[in-house]
Amino acid sequence: MSDTAWLEPMFKAIDKMDAAAFAAFLAEDVRFTFGSGEPVVGRQESEAAVAGFFSSIAGLQHEITDRWCIDNDAMVRGRVTYTRHDGSKLAVPFANVFKIKGDLIDDYQIYIDISTLYAS
């Protein structure tokens, strides 16, 4: 992927909390790391991890402010707003780094601090 056109449909899938549609962007042996969590390896394992995260929130919405694509690497930066099950919201900055193999994401790293997402 030499451009970032795929980012929009991928983030739409995420914002719809559709883990299966999100996973379609991942290579079979993807390495997926969310924040300071342990990496998850594999498309099905990443889909399950993301589905688990989605069940812990009521919604989310990404606003992408910057995007870059250099060779087989892509980066995106922005702000994500999480809606908790009680209806309250938390907006935090994020940055994602992607390693691309063919037309799929081979390594997906999310840099974000959600330490207050579950705070009471």
pTM: 0.93
- Tens of pLDDT, residue by residue over 25-76, are 999 999 999 999 999 999 999 999 999 999 999 999 999 999 999 988 999 9
Q: Which residues is 82 bridged to in the sheet?
A: 60, 90
* pLDDT band at 96; cut points 50, 70, 90: very high
- In order of their start, the domains of the chain are 7-112 (3.10.450.50)
Is the predicted pLDDT of residue 4 greater than 90, yes or no?
A: no
Residue 73's nearest CA partner among 108, 41, 48 is: 108
In this predicted structure, what is the pLDDT of residue 120?
A: 65
The whole-angstrom separation of Cα 91 and Cα 93 is 7
